[in-house]
Amino acid sequence: MISKPKLYDWQIIGLYTGKIIVGIAMLMAVPFVTALVFREWGASIDFLIGILVALSIGFGFQILCETKHEMTWMHGLVIAAFSWLVAMLVGAVPYYLSGQFGSFLDAAFDLMSGYTTTGLFLLQDLDHTSNALNMWRFFVTYAGGQGIIVLALTFLIRGTSGAFMMYVGEGKEEKLLPNVIQTARAIWLVSLTYLALGTLLIGSANMLEGMLFTRAWLHGIWVTMSAWSTGGFAPQSYNIGYYHSLIVEVLTMIFFVIGSFNFALHWSVWTGDRREIYRNIEIVSFTITLTLIFSLGTYALMKVDALSGSLPFFRKAFYQIVSGHTTTGFMTIYSRQFVRQWGVLAMMATTIAMAIGASAASTAGGFKGMRMGIIAKSFAADIRRLMLPESSVIVKKIHHVHEKVLRDEQVRAAMTIVLAFIFIHLISGILGSLYGYPFVEALFDGVSAGSNTGLSAGVVAPSMPVVMKAWYIIVMWMGRLEFMAVFALAGFIIRVVRGR
Amino acid sequence: MRAAIVGLAVMAAVLAAPAPALAAPLVDSGTLVEFPNRYDGKVITFVGEAIGDVMERSDGAWINVNDDAYSRQGQERRLAGYNSGQSVLVADKKSAKAVTRLGDYNNRGDLVRVTGVFHKACPDHGGDMMIHSDTVRVVRSGFILRHPISARKTSLAIIWLVISGVVLTLWKWRTVSVKR
């Protein structure tokens, strides 16, 4: 028999969601100050309202849900899923007030896209957007990349035994340090160091390439936030193509590739184990799949004569495919060029790259290199088993920070998540087709949303049907949280409806 | 009204152009992206709002030019979808200096007109889709965009200020009473 949730279940979920929403209010202080510094008074009012709404809801939840009950595994997962939804609605307030969205749904779409580091957007007239609003777009992406719960664990939630459950619910499973709060702080230490370095390099590059001082450095920090978080938002509608700069493209590529690595790998390298870079299963998996997909993409582009010369291939084909594979979504071409110039085969190669994605416990999305590695190892072991005598014992091993024996449960878990991803991608493709989009284009944008990438073939647009916008919000959310927390929330809702 | 004036200015600019430029068809960015092969390597005319930055490089100055609905708008702000435009490399950097107001949050950029060779994937510039132009001409000067604060938003801010004040007071009171 399914039991209805008790009052304290609601209180625990409400209490921690409230704390996370207060964290969102604190984040909004940054664009608010930006608006004041740049004398963008209209934008400053938008963010002031946003902060007040977030504070009211956040503290309101905490007043109504005061409890001393301990959090359980289920609570942690439900909080992770639910707080992301509430954070989306609250964070969308200044977006909507800016007047640059067709509806509140569009604003919520962009917020979820930012939090999940997807990079698809419905914001209109991006090229006349305030610095404050842009700051919010990139700040949301940067915070979402590390995880808004990681952020709350770092600054707002102390010493709770259930913290690890919320952390896992946000799609990260690995503890870099024995304590999850210390792990959250370590993640921020790594991220802030790269942000400082990236801003310095990309800001300097922008100045060298002819941009004015203030814009060069603002773009420097924003593009670094987006690159490191494998986000895909850019301050101009031309995305990275705006800069027409090889150096900016190379720098962004370095940062989004590094950003797509597992935080555990970063921590190993930081603490002195540099050999991990070459041995880690996710890096090996990423290198193999990138090589195969880029070869396929190159063949496809040569076949349709879309590009000529090695530099155009590097700056267009390689950049787009690496951007897709790391689930970044930065582009140096127009969306429609995928359809009009790249053709179906190159689009499919990019779609596969996006679907596979990058490393687990990173800022990236997709199936993840870890799962691809696990499935490939298991597949190879099964083939070996067929060739060897029945009595032989095959031990499957993977290297991720340490040498680990691969168990069947891990293979099954990896397969389940990959199948869940394939399922939502197919629904996205079919749904798009039902609305009249060509299947390849609908699948391309659908996979982009579900894998939190951000490349687009032009399906995502303010004119997109409402149902598709809502579905894309759901797949971005499910893809980022890797299903488990969403399933836990669904289970909780079923208990509410059907429980006794 | 302003849109009509801008439209007339564009027409006047096209009519006043020298003969070779008149031979170059006026093409919009949507057509260039959707049918790149049709115009690849051909001389075209492109009119739009200069946005963001004029980025000077050794071989010219890059200007990103938007020919979307926003480029024709005045102070009023109507949503009209995404921005769209083309990137232009102006060989004569001096002429690029004539572009003084660039589109951003505070400014509607200068409306500029270029005539040059369109490339669907320029091999000399990393495969960029772009227009190579010798010069750029300002058709209409840009202007400052005003962003007045509406009374509705001010009222909304006051209402939420009161609500959050009450909630914070209650929260503080509750926290203190729980500690006791």
B33/A334 touch (CB, cutoff 8 Å), yes or no: yes
The pLDDT of residue A319 is 98
Q: Chain A, 106-165: which have a CB under 8 Å from a chain B CB? A: 124-131
B86 CA: distance to closest CA in chain A (Å): 9
Residue A304 is predicted with a pLDDT of 93
- For the cut 90, the answer to whether the pLDDT of residue A77 exceeds it is no
Reply yes or no on whether the pLDDT at A269 is more than 90: no
Contacts of B79 in chain A (CB under 8 A): 99-102, 124-125, 462
CB interface of B with A, residues 54-93, below 8 Å = 54-57, 61-62, 64, 66, 70, 77, 79-85, 87, 89
pLDDT of residue A164: 67
pLDDT band with cut points at 50, 70 and 90 for residue A362: confident
- Which A positions 409-468 lie with beta carbon below 8 A of chain B? 461-463
Q: Look at residue B140 and give its three-state secondary structure.
A: strand
Percent of chain A with pLDDT over 90: 71
Which of A236, A316, A461 faces B127 most closely, judged by CB atoms?
A: A316
The terminus-to-terminus CA distance of chain B in angstroms comes to 67
Whether the Cβ atoms of residue A216 and residue B55 lie closer than 8 Å to each other? no
Q: Please determine, for residue B55, whether its predicted confidence score (pLDDT) is greater than 90.
A: yes
Which residues fall within 8 angstroms of residue A112, CB to CB, at 6 or more apart? A84, A88, A118, A473, A476, A477
Tell me if residue B5 falls in helix, strand or coil: helix
Q: Give the per-residue pLDDT at A256.
A: 96
Decide if pLDDT at A169 tops 70.
no
Is the distance from CB of A113 to CB of A198 less than 8 angstroms?
no
pLDDT value, residue A265: 87
Per-residue confidence (pLDDT) for residue A136, from 0 to 100: 97
- Residue A274 confidence (pLDDT): 84
Q: What value does the mean pLDDT take over residues B3-23? A: 54
Quick one: pLDDT at residue B104? Answer: 97
Round to whole Å and give the CA distance between A82 and A329. Answer: 26
Whether residue A145 has pLDDT greater than 90: no
pLDDT at B20 over 80: no
Please tell me the predicted confidence (pLDDT) of residue A390. Answer: 79
- pLDDT at residue B174, rounded to an integer: 86
Assess whether pLDDT exceeds 90 at residue A187: no
Compare B163 and A405 and report the one with higher pLDDT.
Answer: B163
Structure-token pair, residue B147: 């962003």
CB contact under 8 A, A237 and B66: yes
CB contact under 8 A, A334 and B120: no
ipTM of the shown complex: 0.89
> Are B117 and B24 in contact, with CB atoms under 8 Å apart?
no
What is the structure's pLDDT at A167?
67
Provide the pLDDT for residue B85: 98
| CA separation for the pair A361, A167 (Å, rounded) | 10
Please tell me the predicted confidence (pLDDT) of residue A105. 98
Angle between the A439-450 and A343-356 helix axes, to the nearest 10 degrees?
Answer: 20
Distances, alpha carbon A52 to alpha carbons A49, A93, A137, A479, in Å: 5, 10, 19, 30
**Per-residue pLDDT reduced to its tens digit, A1-36:** 788 999 999 999 999 999 999 999 999 999 999 999
Longest pairwise C-alpha distance within chain B: 87
Mean residue pLDDT across chain A = 92
In which element (H, E) is residue B62 found?
Answer: strand B60-66
**Beta strand B43-57 with B107-108: parallel, antiparallel or unpaired?**
unpaired
Higher pLDDT, A166 or B141: B141
Q: Which helix (H) or strand (E) holds B20?
A: helix B19-23
d(CA A312, CA A244): 12
Chain A residue with the nearest C-alpha to that of B166: A56
pLDDT above 80 (res B17)? no
Average pLDDT rounded to a whole number, residues B82-97: 96
Q: Using an 8 Å Cβ cutoff, are B118 and B131 in contact?
A: yes
Work out the number of other CB atoms within 10 angstroms of the CB of residue B37: 10
Task: Name every chain B residue with its beta carbon within 8 A of the beta carbon of A62.
Answer: 171
pLDDT reported for residue B10: 52
- Looking at residue B3, its pLDDT comes to 53
Give me the pLDDT at residue A461, please.
98
pLDDT of A342 reads 96
A424 in Cβ contact with A450 (< 8 Å): yes
- Would the pLDDT of A173 be above 70? no
Q: Which residue of B has its CA nearest to A458?
A: B82
- In single-letter form, the type of residue at position A415 comes to M
The pLDDT of A345-352, averaged and rounded, is 97
The amino acid occupying position B124 is: D
DSSP strand pairing (B111-122 vs B128-140): antiparallel
What DSSP designation does B100 have?
A: -
Chain A residues whose beta carbon lies within 8 Å of the beta carbon of residue B54: 210
CB atoms closer than 10 angstroms to residue B100: 12
- For residue A244, the chain B residues in CB contact (below 8 A) are 55, 57, 62, 87, 89, 125-126, 128, 130
Query: B104 in contact with A at a CB cutoff of 8 Å?
Result: yes
User: What's the confidence (pLDDT) of residue A74?
Assistant: 86
Res A174: pLDDT: 66
